[in-house]
Amino acid sequence: MEAMAVESKKLYNPLMSKILKVDILTETEKRFEIILPEDQILGHKPGQFVEVSIFGYGEAPISICSSPTKTPGFELTVRKTGRLTDKMHLLEKGGQLGIRGPFGNGFDVEPFQKKDMLFVCGGIGLAPLKSLIDYTIAKRDDFGRLMILYGTKNPSEILFKEDIEVWQNQDDIEFHMTVDRSDEDWKGNVGVITTLIPPLKLDTSNTIATVVGPPIMYKFVMLALKSKRIPDENIYLSLERRMKCGVGKCGHCQINNSYVCQEGPVYPYPRIKQLEEAI
Amino acid sequence: MYSENIIKFDQMKRYFFDQDTSIKFLEYLIGKGTVIAPHKKGETSYSFKKVDDVNEVVFDYSRTIQPLKKFFLPPQETLLNFNLTDNSFSEPEVVEEKKIFFAIHSYEMQSIRRLDYSFTKGNPESNYLSKRENSCFIGISFEPDEWHFSKSVGIEIEKLEGFCLFFEPVENGHLVFEVNETGREMLSEFGAGVLVDTPLDFEITDKHFKAKIKYHYNRLPQVFEHVYHSKVWDKVAEKCVGCGTCNLLCATCYCFDVRDEVDLNMINGKRERFWDSCMLNSFAEVAGGDDFRDKLSFRTRHRLFRKFKYITEESGELQCVGCGRCSRFCPAQINIVDIINDLIVDYTEQQEKQVI
């Protein structure tokens, strides 16, 4: 190995971290506030993810839902969907989780300065976008309008209700939400998230749209944004894949020539258009 | 091209080893470290394994079933040992030993160079690189069978890069070429006062590949730029059974799965990685069940694009090394050379249409 004087790294060792707080958000989602050993700061960018593990139950990629401005801990919103996340939901304050990361490319906020920000969040897609929403609120003066569109299947799936109440009552945030199917108590909009886009009055060339949601949502939201004439290069999407290793090796998250854990999960829309397997 | 190698060989010191000397040399190597070499496995198959009996080493073989990658990226490898009672963990101990790989074909050597690239770029990985340290490779020439096509991907039988010594069969023995300093030191220690430099008056037989890709290897990434929507992928998918053998036996495939295994005592366990296969239907599935490569034709395309385009765009080298394992061991008799030649036909037709 003469020609390979490279410093190799221990890529798969987690930092055993402590759960500071657990909030029940819905029947299937909980929010965990976590702190790394010795109060180390995670140092993430909005939109990045960490690999979370519990020994014996495996590891999974989970988006960070808190703003980097909120320290020393960070937050993850986790839906119960399998062995690892079921086990996570049984953990309480003081419990331990293995953390690796942060990984991937998050939102680069530098080009967003002074722009109007449009957040389009479908279902649990609000969680990764919340790291950016909270960041823009914390640095409110650096941005133009903040517009949050949020859609869920039904009212019982609404996340971050306390935050939403604040957003709804704040003059410098425009918040609109809808549910696909209402229930008896629901008094708001009913319909898919794309119905929230046409009524918006936008300064299109000065608007940055960030979109996170289930795969099915992207195609329809892209059409709606296109009819609003938002330039492709002002649109950012975050993609969900099974990033098993987080370090660009295992291959599970690969979309054409892009490893989502390295180049993504946040992509500018023109790049997505080059990746046929993306959405 | 063959004559070029003769010139290259001509500038190198070389020694004649009869069978007896080669056996003695293997015995010498065993004294220097762990020696890994091809062995017979059954009547017609071969396998790389640690040499215990030098007489069992096979010099003349077509290809082993499993590629050499298994020594650097084992089929099953422990990443961490953990304890469930206190959530502590440790890394498995790395055994530091000198490993000498003997009688290695050039495509196999080149596959290791490809893996070196993948495990070094971006995030250099200690698991791979620590196994890769302290290893040296002794090459050997081979007679291509109907599945070898390494020359078509730019790897000559006598491509010496990565080797310290190279064995070329001649009548009644081998010519042993001193490729680099490590090889020179080995030979001078082994044969001090015994070995004499041999003039090159031996006849080295010309070797021919039966399987060939129609276009020059440097043109293949360009071909792949135009065949993403080719009907060839559907044609292959009609035959493919999606077993993933092609990935597992590929000399340069390195994708893996990670799983936790808990011991029966429910106290200790291991986080392990296993070879995985992008041809399997669950490989690209995401949480919630969506699968962005849910057809065999998509997965075949992905496998081939990784060999001829995606990684090549960055590394400048084709990932396929032409060992022929994916074709030789495919239960559906799918042949990678046929796929590429079909794609070339498709590409050529497209180009002609554009001219008209």
At B203-226, the pLDDT tens digits run 777 889 999 999 999 999 999 999
CA distance A23 to chain B (A): 22
Closest partner CB to A1 (pick from B126, B132, B298): B132
Contact A32/A21 with Cβ under 8 angstroms?
yes
Contact B138/B101 with Cβ under 8 angstroms?
yes
What pLDDT score was predicted for residue B199?
A: 64
User: Residue B4: pLDDT above 70?
Assistant: no
Contact A210/A185 with Cβ under 8 angstroms?
no
The residue count for chain B:
356
- CA-CA distance, A144 to B56, in Å (whole number)? 76
Six-digit token string for A124: 């649990």
Tell me the average pLDDT across A175-183: 95
Q: Between chains, do A278 and B292 touch, taking CB under 8 Å as contact?
A: yes
ipTM: 0.92
Q: Between chains, do A215 and B290 touch, taking CB under 8 Å as contact?
A: yes
Nearest CA in chain A to B131: A1
- CA-CA distance, A73 to A40, in Å (whole number)? 8
Among A117, A38, A37, A21, CA closest to A77: A21
Tell me the average pLDDT across A107-111: 94
Identify the band that residue A2 occupies on the pLDDT scale cut at 50, 70 and 90.
very low
Closest partner CB to A257 (pick from B130, B133, B310): B310
Helix B232-239 / helix B336-355 crossing angle, nearest 10 deg? 160
* Residue-range domains of chain A with CATH: 2-102 (2.40.30.10), 110-238 (3.40.50.80)
CA distance B212 to chain A (A): 27
Helix B336-355 / helix B296-305 crossing angle, nearest 10 deg? 90
CA distance B284 to chain A (A): 6
Please write down the long-range contacts of B88-94, taking CB distance under 8 Å and 24 or more positions apart: B88/A16, B89/A13, B89/A14, B89/A55, B89/B271, B91/A10, B91/A13, B94/B130, B94/B131
Q: Between chains, do B276 and A252 touch, taking CB under 8 Å as contact?
A: yes
Q: What is the pLDDT of residues B77-97, one digit of tens each?
A: 999 999 999 999 999 988 888
Six-digit token string for B95: 């055994």
- Strands (E) located in chain A: 15-24, 29-35, 49-54, 58-63, 74-79, 96-103, 116-122, 146-152, 174-179, 189-190, 207-212, 235-238, 254-255, 258-259, 266-268
Mutate to test the interface with A, among B260, B263, B267, B313 (most CBs of A within 10 A): B260
Residue B284: its chain A contacts at CB < 8 A? 241-242, 252, 254
DSSP character at residue B95: P
Q: What is the pLDDT of residues B107-139, one digit of tens each?
A: 999 999 999 999 999 999 999 999 999 999 999
Q: Between chains, do A249 and B118 touch, taking CB under 8 Å as contact?
A: yes
Tell me the average pLDDT across B321-334: 98
- CA-CA distance, B68 to B107, in Å (whole number)? 10
Tell me the average pLDDT across A258-278: 95
Q: Between chains, do B80 and A13 touch, taking CB under 8 Å as contact?
A: yes
Helix (H) or strand (E) holding B164: strand B163-170
User: Residue B1: pLDDT above 70?
Assistant: no
The values of phi and psi at residue A86, to 5°, are -60, -45
Q: What is the pLDDT of residues A212-232, one digit of tens each?
A: 999 889 999 999 999 999 999
DSSP character at residue A37: G
Closest partner CB to B133 (pick from A1, A251, A277): A1
Peptide bond into A102 cis (omega under 30): yes
Mutate to test the interface with B, among A16, A254, A277 (most CBs of B within 10 A): A254
User: Has this prediction a pTM greater than 0.95?
Assistant: no
Residue B131: its chain A contacts at CB < 8 A? none
